[in-house]
Structure 1
C-alpha cells in the first residue's frame, strides 16, 4: 500500500470518528431535551390532577355540609315531635317504650340460641 492510501484511510477514519462523536452528541442532546419535555409534561399533568382533585374535594365538602345541616334539622324535628307526644300521653309513651324494649329483648335473646 502506498502512503497516500494510508493517509486517505486515516483521514476517512478520523472523519468517521468525528461523525460518530457528532451523532452521539446529537443523540445525548435529543435525549436530554426529550427527558426535560417529559418532566415538564408530567409536572403539568400532576398540577392539573391536583387541581381537579382539590376542586372535587371542595365540591364534596360543600354538598356534605348541606346534607349534614338537613339531617340535623330532621333530628331536631323528630326530637320535638317525640317530646310533644310523650307530654300529651305519658302513659301510652311509657307502655310503648316498655313494649319495644320487651320485643327487642326477645329478639336479641333468641339470637343467642
Structure 2
C-alpha cells in the first residue's frame, strides 16, 4: 500500500488510504483509515483502526462504528453502492473484544491486488 492520501486501484477494486472522502451532505468524520471499494459487487468497506488502552477497547469499538455510519450512508447515496463499517480495535497490550473475530470475518478478502 502507498503513502497516506494515496489511492490504489485496479479494474476490480479501489482502496483509498487515509483519504478525504467528499460527500454531498456535510458529515463530521470523512477520513477513515482505509476504504475498500469492490467495483464488481458494488460494495464499500470502511475500516478504521484504533489502539487504545486495553480497558477502553469495547467503548472504542462502539465509537468507531457509530462515528462512520453517517459517512457510510453518504457513500451509499453518492456512489450507489452498499457499505459496511468495520472497526479494528486492538488494545495496546493486545486485548480484543469478543466481537473482534466477527469484524475481521467481514473484511473483503477476494480482491486481487495487481495493478491494472
| Larger strand percent | 2
Q: With structure 1 as the length reference, what TM-score do the two structures score?
A: 0.22
| Larger helix percent | 1
